[in-house]
Amino acid sequence: MRVSGYFTASWKSLTVMSFRLLFLLPAGLPVHSQGDSQSDNKVMDNITVRQGDTVSLSCGQGDLVTHSAWLNRSSIMYAGEDKWSVDSRVSLVTLNQDEFTIKIENVDMTDEGQYVCAVQTRSKATTTSVHVIVQVPPKITSLSKDLVVNEGSNVSLICAASGKPDPSVSWKIISPSAQSLPSEDEYLEIQSVSRQRAGTYECTAINDVATDIQTVELTVNYAPSVSEGKDVGVTLGQQGVLQCEADAVPSADFEWYRDDRRIFNSFDGIEIEDSGALSKLTFFNVSEGDYGNYTCVAMNKLGSANTSIVLFVVIEPTSSTLLQETTSTVLEQTGSESHTESEGPDAVQDGNSAARAALTSTCLLVLVALQLLLKF
């Protein structure tokens, strides 16, 4: 309370001094305190303005005005129509018996503070004071750069922001899935980071004026893991493809082996094609010597992993094998039915026997016809 009173008294003394110097008041002319009939000291509500905007300051004049001025921190800005300020942003808007208004364009933090409109009539001096508050949109001033770390490392992200009022800062991960993250002020700590925490992190600074948003990319390196290989069956002379897929950051390099021998691209009619996380080993014309066990190795700077894939032979059916298989199937079915119906020493033949005999004859005719067709 004492400090506030001291400030008020000092400001009043400063205003009185400036007023006397401006208007060359005689030393004997009294300047009365607030509440005296010959002096008025008014305080207007604070004016809040956003940085970069324009603010207008007005006060009433009254009758028989002899002098008027706008002051800021003991500096005279305007005395009547005369501009004392060298600031090009300050200009006179209105000056008459009822109103004295100036404006300040492109307001900055340096413009914040107390302004006084001083008016002198023949009978008394009047001062009107107003406090200008400048609000500043938030601005992120310090942000962690994009990070590349190994899985299991501790990560610390910082996002510092300035503004008025002081902005609040929050973090969230927006890729691969948007979710808010616990953070203490501008810091975000991630202990023993996993590959699932890699992605785009968004820092938001917000106050009553506006919002500022910036992002950080977090890349988490980890050793390759390889999907289990699937064995492939191929007919002799046909094309065969073995596939190997690996999950790794940075992307894995692939190598293919047959036993302990490494296979290179365009080796004995074999092609190796790598595309991102997938490697393909292609045989364009499978030979007897191509069948066997193959090993795919995926590696990056953090480690390696491998899987085995078998290329095995598939025998294509021929006309003779097809006839043999069909004949065998029919005979097995016929024999099974005969055996079933003749079980026991007292088995009795009925009318169905003739039907089964006819069926057997028909099957044999079909087999003969099939054999003739396969010859052509």
pLDDT greater than 60 at residue 91 = yes
Same-domain pairing of 125 and 185: no
Is residue 264 pLDDT above 80, yes or no? yes
Q: Is residue 335 part of a domain?
A: no
Question: Where residue 361 falls among pLDDT bands split at 50, 70, 90?
Answer: low
Q: Give the pLDDT confidence score for residue 325 in this predicted structure.
A: 54
pLDDT in tens, 146-167: 999 999 999 999 999 999 999 9
Contacts of 24 by beta carbon, 8 Å cutoff, 6+ apart = none
- In 3D space, the residue among 256, 259, 184, 196 whose CA is nearest the CA of residue 222 turns out to be 196
What does 302-371 look like in DSSP terms, one character per residue?
Answer: TEEEEEEEEEEE-PPP-HHHHHHHHHHHHHHHHHHHHHHHT-STT----THHHHHHHHHHHHHHHHHHHH
pLDDT over 80 (residue 12): no
**Angle, alpha carbons 2-17-78 (nearest 5°):** 115
Q: Does one domain contain both 184 and 200?
A: yes
pLDDT at 61: 81
Indicate if the pLDDT at residue 199 is higher than 60: yes
Is 117 in the same domain as 45? Answer: yes
Residue 369 — pLDDT band, cuts 50, 70, 90?
low
DSSP state of 184: B
* Residues 236 and 265 reside in one and the same domain: yes
**Does residue 53 sit in the same domain as residue 96?**
yes
Domain boundary among 161, 196, 222: 222
Q: Are residues 217 and 245 in the same domain?
A: no
Mention every residue, 6+ apart, whose C-beta is less than 8 A from residue 4: none
Range of lowest pLDDT (75-84, 96-105, 230-239, 355-364) = 355-364
Is residue 366 included in any domain, yes or no? no
Q: Does some domain include residue 29?
A: no
Asked whether residue 204 is domain-assigned, the answer is yes
**Domain-ending residue, one of 296, 313, 330:** 313
- State pLDDT tens for residues 308-335: 999 999 987 655 554 555 555 555 555 5
Percentage of the chain modeled with pLDDT above 90: 61
CA distance 43 to 59: 11
pLDDT in the model for residue 363: 53
Residue-wise DSSP of 37-101: TTEEEEEPPPEEEETTS-EEEEE---TTEEEEEEEETTEEEEETTEE----TTEEEEEESSS-EE
Question: Which pLDDT band, with edges at 50, 70 and 90, does 364 fall under?
Answer: low
Mean pLDDT of 84-112: 95
State the average pLDDT for the chain: 81
Residue 372 is assigned to a structural domain of this protein: no
Shared-domain flag, residues 247 and 266: yes
Q: Which amino acid is at 109?
A: M
* Contact criterion met (CB below 8 Å) for 176 and 197: no
Total number of domains in the chain: 3
Mean pLDDT for 289-312 is: 96
DSSP-based helix, strand, coil % in the chain, nearest 5 = 20, 45, 30
Place of tokens 């067709």: 373
- The residue segments making up the domain with residue 237 are 227-313
pLDDT at position 246, please? 97
Distances (CA, A) of 80 to 1, 26, 83, 92: 36, 20, 8, 9
Asked if residue 14 belongs to a domain, the reply is no
Please state, in angstroms and as integers, the Cα–Cα distance from residue 316 to each residue in 107, 237, 303, following that order: 87, 11, 42
Which H/E stretch holds residue 142?
strand 125-143
DSSP 269: T
Co-location of 69 and 153 in the same domain: no
Question: Do 122 and 58 belong together in one domain?
Answer: yes
Return the pLDDT at 142.
Answer: 97
Flag whether 238 is in a domain: yes
CATH code at position 211: 2.60.40.10
Distance, CA of 167 to CA of 139 (rounded, Å): 9
Q: Is the same domain home to 305 and 261?
A: yes
Q: Is 120 among the domain residues?
A: yes
- Of 101, 136, 171, at which residue does a domain stop? 136
Q: For the chain, what percent of residues have pLDDT higher than 70?
A: 73
Instruction: Based on the fold, state whether residues 181 and 131 are members of the same structural domain.
Output: no
**CB contact set of 280 (below 8 Å; sequence gap of 6+):** 241, 242, 243, 244, 271, 272, 273, 274
Residues 263 and 279 in one domain: yes
Joined tokens for residue 11:
């400001």
